[in-house]
Amino acid sequence: MELRHLRYFLAVADEGSFTRAAERIGIGQPPLSRQIRDLEQEVGARLFHRLAHGAELTEAGRAFRDAVADIPSRAADAVRLAQRAARGETGTLALGSIGSAVINPIVSSAIRSFRRAYPDVELKLEEATSAVLAAGLREGRLDAAILRPTSADSRDLRFHVLAEDQLMAALPTGHSLAGRPGAVALAELADETFILTPREVGAGLYDTVVEACRLAGFEPRFGQPAPQIATLLSLVAAEFGVAVLPTSMGQLGVVGVTFRPLRDKAPALALTVAVRRDERSNLVRNFVTETRAAAKAARSTA
């Protein structure tokens, strides 16, 4: 039984006439009559009384009509749903993010733009370190992730830059440099103890800070490690040492911590959307395209 047989049957039932149904469908009456006879053969019952003035449903025809009346519209809905899913307009996107990413206003603006453009896509969020998120992409647990990339990840992952953070110094409020206005040179911190997240937690930030210190002419001396940025800032406030962080972290406003821009031309720290290199999902592609465009627009107005 084909869907067109049901459409033909319902047209005759609605019109009460083979002639009018044929005109409505746009085929000749003889072919329509043959299609209905084929349907009746398949059903195993007469569906219409053929009358001189038209066609009337039999008892079997009325039962059949009640059972199949919504099938054509449901089939059309199914086609539309399938087409939307194929275009990446519906479905679920498993999105990972490092905890500090959403603090960056460009990143939050980019995600907001995607949600507005694709309101029928459900975002399933996971927060973790960059290393865990990269592993999640490789394992197929995540579809996309907002993280700070490392060169080692570039073999099987593709990165699309959303934002680039400059570095700044985070100093205990009682530090001599905290009371001095203006930028701080990294070399002025050469004798300080640096508080930083371990490399296995955030290789991107760790490597960038070490590189910046080396460019300033010294090797940083690390003190108490901090598993998260919030812990790191608490340690700075408690005068365990100083830190070098992305400028977007300045929005956290922790009591006891003073932020100062760096005078050095230090390396920027990228925040990226990472996806698998062999990704074929239109939903993932839509996420990358929309967030990149929104981030570019946000950067231009910042």
Mean pLDDT computed over 10-36 = 92
Q: Is the pLDDT score of 284 beyond 70?
A: yes
Q: Is the pLDDT score of 102 beyond 90?
A: no
CB 96 within 8 A of CB 66: no
Average pLDDT value over all residues in the chain = 90
Residue 218's pLDDT band (boundaries 50, 70, 90)?
A: very high
Query: H or E element: which one contains 171?
Result: strand 167-172
Residue 222's pLDDT band (boundaries 50, 70, 90)?
A: very high
Stronger pLDDT, 252 or 19, i.e. the higher one: 19
In total, the chain counts a number of residues equal to 302
Phi, psi of 168 (to 5 degrees): -140, 165
* pLDDT reported for residue 154: 74
Give the dihedral sign, CA 129/134/140/142. Answer: positive
CB 235 within 8 A of CB 226: yes
Beta carbons within 10 angstroms of residue 13's beta carbon = 20
**Distance of alpha carbon 111 from alpha carbon 43, whole angstroms:** 53
**Distance of alpha carbon 18 from alpha carbon 23, whole angstroms:** 9
CA distances to 169, 276, 288, 301 from 294, rounded to whole Å, are 29, 21, 10, 11
Q: Spelled out in words, what is the top-level CATH class assigned to the domain 87-164+270-301?
A: alpha beta
* pLDDT reported for residue 225: 87
For tokens 């054509």, what's the residue?
A: 72
Q: Is the pLDDT score of 253 beyond 80?
A: no
Q: Spelled out in words, what is the top-level CATH class assigned to the domain 3-83?
A: mainly alpha
Residue 302's pLDDT band (boundaries 50, 70, 90)?
A: low
- The yes/no answer on whether domain 167-267 falls in CATH 3.40.190.10 is yes
The two domains 3-83 and 167-267 share their CATH topology (first three levels equal): no
Under DSSP, is residue 223 helix (H, G, I), strand (E, B) or coil? coil
* pLDDT reported for residue 251: 78
Q: Is the pLDDT score of 10 beyond 70?
A: yes
Each domain of the chain, given as residue ranges in start order, spans 3-83, 87-164+270-301, 167-267
Stronger pLDDT, 74 or 265, i.e. the higher one: 74
CB 233 within 8 A of CB 170: yes
CB 244 within 8 A of CB 262: yes
pLDDT in tens, 146-162: 998 877 677 889 999 99
Would you give the distance in Å from CA 57 to the centre of its chain?
Answer: 52
- Beta bridge partners of residue 57, listed in sequence order: 48
pLDDT in tens, 25-69: 899 999 999 999 999 999 999 999 998 888 999 999 999 999 999
Residue 28's closest CA among 8, 50, 58, 56?
8
Q: Is the pLDDT score of 248 beyond 90?
A: no
Strand order of the sheet with strand 243-246?
243-246, 167-172, 257-261
The reported pTM is 0.75
Give the gyration radius of the chain's Cα atoms.
32
**Distance of alpha carbon 47 from alpha carbon 44, whole angstroms:** 9
Mean pLDDT computed over 186-212 = 90
